Amino acid sequence: MAQEDLFTFNPFKPQESHKMKLIREEIETVEFLVESKNGKKSMYIEGVFLQGNIKNRNGRMYPMETLRKEVGRYNENHVQAGRALGELGHPDGPTVNLDRVSHKIVSLRESGSNFVGKAKILNTPMGKIASSLIEEGVKLGVSSRGIGSLKMTREGVNIVGDDFMLATAADIVADPSAPDAFVEGIMEGKDWVWDGGILRERYAEKTYKQINTLVDQSALEEKKLSLFNDFLNNL
């Protein structure tokens, strides 16, 4: 039987219970800038954080109206309030963990079918790691993170529902190996269910058990790929 954890998540309170998925989209083509103000240097990330009206490499499409509505809420409640934060790495749920915060998103604006963002690297432990990686020439990207329902079209495209909610417009990530990232980041195999203003989290325990029972390395790698493909087909 699936295990459930309960915690609150505040942006909206949908009127009815329905399943939603943790959704992340990675974009690698961002720029890292250094700006000086009053003799103090700050590092920034700038580029496309969100893309609308196009099928992405994960087979999903975000209608512009859905993104426009959610970005408006996110800008008002988070960016303008100075609390639009992001993490270094792949968090395991739709909340921002303050001990892993590496940057603050300072702007997010519509540009054609994209939303271009800018984020300041913070002087936090994770921010210092991100800065060091950038200075050493490590290729990093950004990954939006949110929850929402998905509806498959006849053409095989998963349309993100208008219940989509951003946890953050951008986490800082490296380009992962997909099967390993899936196994290490099994959080995307969970269902997130609204129930009375509470977001319920269901773990994919069956997948964990299948992986943990494998000892032979070749069998493990084969199973990782198989589970990853099954996961993608169920999104």
* CA distance linking residue 52 with residue 113, whole number of Å: 5
pLDDT, residue 55, reads: 92
Which residue range is the domain that position 66 belongs to?
4-233
Q: Which of 78, 102, 103, 143 is catalytic?
A: 143
Task: Report d(CA 23, CA 164) in Å as an integer.
Answer: 9
pLDDT confidence of residue 93 = 87
What's the CA gap between 28 and 227, in Å, rounded? 25
In this structure, which amino acid lies at residue 190? K
Domain count for the chain:
1
Say whether 97 sits in a helix, a strand or coil.
coil
- At residue 160, φ and ψ (nearest 5 deg) are -75, 130
The strand ranges marked E within 38-149 are 40-51, 60-61, 85-87, 101-111, 114-121, 141-148
Q: Which of 90, 102, 131, 149 does the annotation list as catalytic? A: 90
Long-range contacts formed by 128-133: CB under 8 A, 24+ apart: 129/88, 129/102, 130/88, 130/102, 130/103, 130/172, 131/43
Q: Report how far residue 134's alpha carbon sits from residue 25's, in angstroms, rounded to the nearest whole number.
A: 21
90 belongs to the catalytic site: yes
Give the chain's length: 235
Does this model's pTM top 0.75?
no
Q: In the prediction, which pLDDT does 111 show?
A: 95
CA atoms within 13 A on the CB side of 153: 12
Q: Residue 9 has what pLDDT? A: 41
- Is 131 annotated in the active site? no
Strand, coil or helix: what is 150?
strand
Full pLDDT tens readout for the chain, 235 residues: 333 333 334 444 444 456 788 999 988 888 989 998 888 899 999 999 999 999 988 899 999 999 999 999 999 999 999 999 999 998 888 899 999 999 999 999 999 999 999 999 999 999 999 999 999 988 888 999 999 999 999 999 999 999 999 999 999 998 643 333 333 333 444 565 655 555 556 544 444 445 455 445 556 566 556 665 665 555 5
Question: CA–CA separation, 170 vs 29, rounded Å?
Answer: 13
